[in-house]
């Protein structure tokens, strides 16, 4: 038996340790452990990496979404169109600003992106924004999304939490509309040693408002970085600041990000090759757009998915179900329209998709072990 955990970055973190330690030492010496110098340096580094004019660090991708929505002025009575098949936070962030998430099905092309035909039937006079999600390894169609937002006079806000390193016509994910987010949750392509996130934008007003909101509304004081632009002084904010220890780790990891992305592409190719021709594996990741994919999750679709997951678990191979229940069917989003028959593609993906172990520390023998176990399962192994 060759166990393979679903996620482990222990070797990479140890390799980056001298650089991490140097950055963490700088934190010890400063005495400002949250929202301090490492955070400011990390914001500058991400702005440079992505080409964003503004990068505003916060404590998670979820808070980044909430603050981005608040900065865009979305609130009670507003509707935001989101895909039915995504991580919970895409829709919960909309609910947390007291607006309504309106769900559109995803396409059936294998890009797991929002279906704009479905979305166009959902636009009402209350619709304020569309929030596409770039899932797993490729971007949603950003030309079509930009045209959609322009046509309906609404904002394009990107849930680009999974999309660091992905560019469309040379422009990084998150920067095609009013703003986007990044998550640095440990499993992400750029992962911290805990939670962290960011809003990236080219819109000075959005950046200024997120800076105010992440720190209690600055207790009514004006913003120091972009003074005068924010009109939120005096508005109640929250505490969503990033810890300097996480920024210290992320700064060190950012140096290896492009190498990590290249390694992820090699691993995805190794999986593709070994899974080809296994009966029962009905879909491996497809690249449906002419943009370079960045593999964050390696997700396949299979027959008898739950049995396969159990079989692999019994052999010490970790898997995750991304995402087990389309969001319109979550009890907290119950509503007249939110019935399974309105989301056939999301339902199909949720019943067939399974994510395999995938991270730069993974080795080719690990991939051999995972794929042999999958092949054995479909050959009737016990």
Nearer to ligand PLP, 131 or 278 (CB): 131
CB of 299 to ligand PLP, least distance (A): 12
CB of 163 to ligand PLP, least distance (A): 9
Residue 326 binding ligand PLP, by CB under 6 A: no
Residue 210 binding ligand PLP, by CB under 6 A: no
Residue 358 binding ligand PLP, by CB under 6 A: no
- Residues in contact with ligand PLP, total (CB under 6 A)? 15
Q: Helices in the chain by DSSP H: which ranges?
A: 10-15, 17-30, 37-50, 61-71, 88-96, 116-120, 142-152, 204-213, 244-254, 257-275, 305-314, 344-352, 364-378
Specify the stretch interacting with ligand PLP by CB under 6 A; choose among 158-166, 209-217, 244-252, 349-357.
Answer: 158-166
Strand-pairing partners, residue 102, are: 81
HSE, side-chain direction, 13 A CA sphere, residue 146: 14
Task: Confirm if 164 and 196 have CB atoms less than 8 A apart.
Answer: no
Q: Is the dihedral of CA 349, 94, 144, 190 positive or negative?
A: negative
Rounded CA gap, 206 and 202, in Å?
A: 8
Interface residues for ligand PLP in 2-61 (CB under 6 A)?
Answer: 60-61
x/- map, 108-137, ligand PLP, by CB under 6 A: -------------------------x----
Strand-pairing partners, residue 198, are: 57, 182
CB of 283 to ligand PLP, least distance (A): 20
Specify the stretch interacting with ligand PLP by CB under 6 A; choose among 83-91, 119-127, 149-157, 345-353.
Answer: 83-91
Counting other chains too, the contacts that 234-238 makes at CB distance below 8 Å and 24 or more residues apart are 237/212, 237/213, 238/63, 238/67, 238/213, 238/214
Among 89, 166, 327, 356, binds ligand PLP (CB under 6 A): 89
CA 43 to each of CA 18, 304, 328, 347: distance values in angstroms, whole numbers, following the listed order: 21, 44, 35, 38
Among 185, 298, 343, 377, binds ligand PLP (CB under 6 A): 185
> What is residue 19's DSSP assignment?
H
Among 165, 197, 357, 360, binds ligand PLP (CB under 6 A): 197
Nearer to ligand PLP, 185 or 333 (CB): 185
Residue 243 binding ligand PLP, by CB under 6 A: no
Among 85, 87, 271, 333, binds ligand PLP (CB under 6 A): 87
Rounded CA gap, 113 and 44, in Å?
A: 30
Closest listed residue to residue 99, CA positions, set 132, 72, 135 = 72
Specify the stretch interacting with ligand PLP by CB under 6 A; choose among 34-42, 87-95, 122-130, 325-333.
Answer: 87-95
Nearer to ligand PLP, 113 or 208 (CB): 113
Nearer to ligand PLP, 260 or 366 (CB): 260
CB of 86 to ligand PLP, least distance (A): 5
CA 315 to chain centre: 29
Residue 189 binding ligand PLP, by CB under 6 A: no
SS3 304: coil
Q: Which residue is nearest to ligand PLP (CB)?
A: 61
Neighbours of 214 (CB within 10 A): 25
Specify the stretch interacting with ligand PLP by CB under 6 A; choose among 68-76, 157-165, 250-258, 344-352.
Answer: 157-165
> What is residue 94's DSSP assignment?
H
Nearer to ligand PLP, 9 or 230 (CB): 9
Strand-pairing partners, residue 300, are: 354
Nearer to ligand PLP, 102 or 192 (CB): 192
Residue 90 binding ligand PLP, by CB under 6 A: yes
The burial class, CB within 10 Å (0-12 / 13-18 / 19+), for 31 is exposed
Task: Confirm if 83 and 77 have CB atoms less than 8 A apart.
Answer: no
Nearer to ligand PLP, 95 or 204 (CB): 95
Give the binding site for ligand PLP (CB under 6 A).
60-62, 86-87, 89-90, 133, 159, 161-162, 183, 185, 195, 197
């Amino acid at each position: 038996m060759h166990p393979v955990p679903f996620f482990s970055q222990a070797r990479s973190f140890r390799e980056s340790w001298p650089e991490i330690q140097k950055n963490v030492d700088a934190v010890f010496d400063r005495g400002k452990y949250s929202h301090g110098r490492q955070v400011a340096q990390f914001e500058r580094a991400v702005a440079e990496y992505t080409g964003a004019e503004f990068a505003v660090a916060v404590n998670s991708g979820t808070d980044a979404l909430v603050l981005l929505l608040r900065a865009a002025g979305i609130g009670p009575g507003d509707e935001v169109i989101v895909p039915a098949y995504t991580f919970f936070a895409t829709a919960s962030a909309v609910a947390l600003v007291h607006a309504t998430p309106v769900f559109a099905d995803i396409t059936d092309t294998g890009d797991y992106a929002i279906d704009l035909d479905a979305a166009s039937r959902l636009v009402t006079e209350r619709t304020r924004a569309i929030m596409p999600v770039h899932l797993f390894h490729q971007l949603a169609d950003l030309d079509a999304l930009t045209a959609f937002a322009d046509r309906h006079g609404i904002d394009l806000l990107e849930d680009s939490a999974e999309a660091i390193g992905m560019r469309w016509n040379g422009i990084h994910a998150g920067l095609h509309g009013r703003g986007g987010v990044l998550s640095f949750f440990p499993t992400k392509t750029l992962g911290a040693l805990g939670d962290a996130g960011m809003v990236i934008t080219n819109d000075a007003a959005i950046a200024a408002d997120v800076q105010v909101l992440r720190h209690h509304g600055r207790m009514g004081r004006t913003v120091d970085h972009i003074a005068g632009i924010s009109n939120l002084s005096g508005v109640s904010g929250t505490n969503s600041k990033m810890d300097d220890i996480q920024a210290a780790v992320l700064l060190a990891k950012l140096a290896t990000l492009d190498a990590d992305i290249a390694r992820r592409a090699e691993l995805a190719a190794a999986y593709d090759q070994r899974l080809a021709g296994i009966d029962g594996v009905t879909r491996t990741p497809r690249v449906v757009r002419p943009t370079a994919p960045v593999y964050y999750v390696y997700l396949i679709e299979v027959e008898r998915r739950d049995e396969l997951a159990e079989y692999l678990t019994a052999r010490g191979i970790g898997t995750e179900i991304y995402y087990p229940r389309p969001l319109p069917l979550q009890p907290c989003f119950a509503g007249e329209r939110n019935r399974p028959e309105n989301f056939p593609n999301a339902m199909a993906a949720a019943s067939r998709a399974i994510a395999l172990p995938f991270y730069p520390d993974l080795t080719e023998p690990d991939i051999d072990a995972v794929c042999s176990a999958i092949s054995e399962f479909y050959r009737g192994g016990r």
